Amino acid sequence: MKALASLAVLPLLSRLSAANEASSGLTEVASGVYVHQGRHALAGAENGGDIANITFIIGAEAVAVVDTGGSARIGAAARQALKAITDKPIRYVINTHMHPDHVFGNAAFADDKPDYIAHHKMARGLSARAERYLAVNKAAIGDAAFEGTKIVLPTRAISTTTEIDLGGRTLELKPRATAHTDNDLTILDKTTGTLILGDLLFSGHVPTLDGSIRGWLKLIAELLQEKAERVIPGHGPASMAWPDALTPLERYLRTIADDVRTMIKGGKTLAEASKTAAQSEKNSWALFDEYHVRNVTAAFAELEWE
């Protein structure tokens, strides 16, 4: 609860409604689009790994899930909440990228026999990290809460823009170039203009960089060309205004890139950069102390090769 308590000082979080904080509550952010909001915290016993957003899109014939939470139990709770709303079959489980808080609930949907869909590089990225992801998250969440969690790899790999039909409702899936990770996939519900960005968009929760800072900044410029009514971040509110939602993220990444480039040019070391780069962002984000130095380290190791 330590991480959660520290959030009380952040103005953004005071906007959270009580409804959104209900552990398996779903918020309808657009007609037929429901979001379960994860908490701004590290995966731990107090949250069971419930730290990332989960989205359901309900068509006339089928349901698609986008991201499944950080454990089989979190995935099952979200599935149960969905079943109270609709009994239409869940035909698609889509992962926005490989990170455990977005894919570890996949197993909870096995009985639905869905297509598991992800970026074509996702299986490779997740496989390379699988053992460590499992070990670290099991230790963090606890054996009981982690029970039933296993790696469920995609059965369908997306390498070009692909449309999926839910019955009178089309989803447009776009695999993106390396940014947050090297396997980011975005999903646009064309019916309501709802764009699901996964961890290409963080709000409130400090962004985490596990791909390419240059790639992410470049992709932001491309994303701004997308026409959408609203956007759903991987970490943050259930729904946000588009494209304003991207502004703080872009500022954060640009500040790191600018500071790190200046330090590299001035002959500074990685150790020096990790202490000072983009510290001006400290008060703008939850979990800054947990992730920021890691982001700077990744940015430095990338930008020193420019």
Partner 1 sequence: MTRSRNVSALLAGILVATCLLPLSSLKAEGDNWLSIRKEFFADRPILDQDARVIVEAPEKAEDSAVVPVSIYISSSVADKVTAMHVFIDNNPMPLVGHFKFGSAAGDGGRTFSTRVRFDTFSYIRAVIETSDGRLLMGSKFVKAAGGCSAPAFKDFADAMAHTGEMHLKRMEKQQFASQKRSAIVMREAQVMLRHPNYSGMQMNEATGTYIPARYVRELDVTRAGELIFHLDAGISLSTNPHIRFTYGSAGEEELAATAKDSDGEVFSASVPADGS
Interface ranges with partner 1 (CB under 8 A): 121, 124-125, 127-132, 135-136, 139, 178, 181-182, 210-212, 215, 266-267, 269-271, 274, 291, 293-294, 297-298, 301, 304-305
Residue 49: CB minimum distance to partner 1, A: 17
Q: Which is nearer to partner 1, 39 or 138 (CB)?
A: 138
Sequence letter at residue 197: L
Residue 210: CB minimum distance to partner 1, A: 6
Instruction: Give the burial class of 149: count Cβ atoms within 10 A of its Cβ; 0-12 exposed, 13-18 middle, 19 or more buried.
Output: buried
Cα–Cα dist 3/38, whole Å: 13
Structure token pair of residue 34: 């429901």
Cα–Cα dist 195/244, whole Å: 13
For residues 197 and 231, the answer to whether their CB atoms sit within 8 Å is yes
Q: Which is nearer to partner 1, 249 or 298 (CB)?
A: 298
Q: Which is nearer to partner 1, 24 or 297 (CB)?
A: 297
For residues 246 and 223, the answer to whether their CB atoms sit within 8 Å is yes
Q: Which is nearer to partner 1, 22 or 135 (CB)?
A: 135
Structure token pair of residue 3: 């991480």
Residue 214: CB minimum distance to partner 1, A: 10
Sequence letter at residue 39: R
Q: Which is nearer to partner 1, 98 or 164 (CB)?
A: 98
Across the strands, what pairs with 156?
117
Residue 138: CB minimum distance to partner 1, A: 9
Residue 267: CB minimum distance to partner 1, A: 5
